[in-house]
Structure formats: structure tokens, C-alpha cells
């Protein structure tokens, strides 16, 4: 009798825990969220993640390629200039994701080398590459156009996108190498919003 009661109690406890886990699950992602797009992204460490890697934090997103000689280093420099205008507390909240438009050549080792070359904070930044089949979808979601040129280089949109904590685009800037006060204010506002 004691054994049956003990088993029944364990079964009841398991059901209660399952029910509790279901009620404590994360709230659904808003329908306008980029995070609804489920695509695998391989980062500079070879880990596979998704666009929702930094869910819960404001995120700057851009598209680039590691061997870019001119524009992509300027995009990264522009993001670093934005970071230099943030307080220590604001900077701790910000995340950055750069997505490769050249996933076949931008292997994790090259992404890691690029991350180090630009001396960015790897605890807050990630450089990722999508599956080649997902590239157009991702670029389309962010409104980024790109075209591979005969010499292997790419012509592409220079755009930095700000996502809020839920993955909803709230601002963007195509001003590279120049201060964009309006975009900076949007960024600071997103960093002040409820954590």
C-alpha cells in the first residue's frame, strides 16, 4: 500500500511539474518579430544558433562578408562608433550580429579572425553565416540587396538595423562612417526600455 501511494505521489508530482513548466514557458514571440524566421546560423565558434540568439536584448544587425576590402570594415567601424557613445551600462545591454552574404567562403575560422581583427567584444558580438539556401530570405527580411560581382566581391546595401528586445525592427541607418544622431537616440531609447 505504501509503495502504491509513493508511486501515485511521484506520478502526481511529475504531472504538476509538467503543468507548471507549461505555464512558465516563455511568452510567444510577437507576429512582427524577426525571431519568427527559423533559420540556422553558424557563428565564429562553429556553434549553430538562430536569429533569436540575443532575444531579450536590443540588437544591431547588419550583413557583410569577411573579405570585403572597403565597405564592410566601415560598417563595423560605424557600429563601434555608436558603441563609443554609449554608457557602460548601455553597452552591457547591447548585442551585435553581423550576418555573412558569402556563407560559402566565410567559414567559422575566417569569421573568428575577422572578429579579432576588428577588436570587437566577442561576448556581445557574433559573426554568423546562414545556409546558402536561406541567404535570400534573410536579406529580404532585412531589406538588404546584394549581388556577387565577376571578381568574387559583392555589391550590397550598407544598412544597420536595430531590433528591440522582441526582435521587432524599430530603426535602421544607411549612414556609414558618419554620425547619425536620430539612430543613436533610437538605440539609446531601446537600451533604456524595460529589461
Is residue 34 a part of any domain in this protein?
A: yes
* Total tally of structural domains belonging to the chain: 1
CATH number at residue 178: 3.40.30.10
Is residue 106 a part of any domain in this protein?
A: yes
Is residue 14 a part of any domain in this protein?
A: no
- 91, pLDDT greater than 70: yes
The tens digit of pLDDT for each residue in 126-183 reads: 999 999 999 999 999 999 999 999 998 999 999 999 999 999 999 999 999 888 999 9
Is residue 35 a part of any domain in this protein?
A: yes
Is residue 64 a part of any domain in this protein?
A: yes
- 121 is in which domain, residue-wise? 28-192
Is residue 165 a part of any domain in this protein?
A: yes
Cβ–Cβ < 8 Å for 26, 133: no
- 195, pLDDT greater than 80: no
Mean pLDDT of 185-189: 96
Q: What's this model's pTM, rounded to 2 decimal places?
A: 0.84
Is residue 100 a part of any domain in this protein?
A: yes
Whole-angstrom Cα distance, residue 29 to residue 38?
12
Cβ–Cβ < 8 Å for 94, 130: no
- 28, pLDDT greater than 90: no
Is residue 3 a part of any domain in this protein?
A: no
Amino acid at each position: 500500500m505504501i509503495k502504491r501511494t509513493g508511486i501515485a505521489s511521484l506520478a502526481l508530482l511529475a504531472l504538476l511539474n509538467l503543468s507548471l513548466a507549461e505555464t512558465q514557458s516563455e511568452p510567444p514571440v510577437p507576429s512582427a518579430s524577426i525571431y519568427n524566421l527559423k533559420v540556422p546560423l553558424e557563428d565564429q565558434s562553429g556553434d549553430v544558433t538562430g536569429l533569436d540568439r540575443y532575444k531579450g536584448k536590443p540588437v544591431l544587425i547588419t550583413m557583410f562578408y569577411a573579405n570585403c576590402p572597403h565597405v564592410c570594415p566601415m560598417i563595423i567601424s560605424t557600429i563601434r562608433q555608436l558603441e563609443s557613445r554609449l554608457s557602460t551600462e548601455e553597452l552591457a545591454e547591447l548585442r551585435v550580429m553581423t550576418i555573412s552574404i558569402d556563407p560559402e567562403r566565410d567559414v567559422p575560422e575566417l569569421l573568428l579572425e575577422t572578429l579579432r581583427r576588428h577588436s570587437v567584444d566577442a561576448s556581445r558580438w557574433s559573426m554568423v553565416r546562414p545556409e546558402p539556401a536561406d541567404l535570400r530570405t534573410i536579406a529580404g527580411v532585412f531589406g538588404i540587396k546584394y549581388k556577387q560581382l565577376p571578381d568574387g566581391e559583392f555589391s550590397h546595401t550598407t544598412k544597420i538595423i536595430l531590433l528591440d528586445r522582441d526582435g521587432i525592427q524599430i530603426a535602421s541607418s544607411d549612414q556609414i562612417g558618419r554620425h547619425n544622431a536620430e539612430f543613436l537616440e533610437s538605440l539609446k531609447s531601446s537600451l533604456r526600455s524595460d529589461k
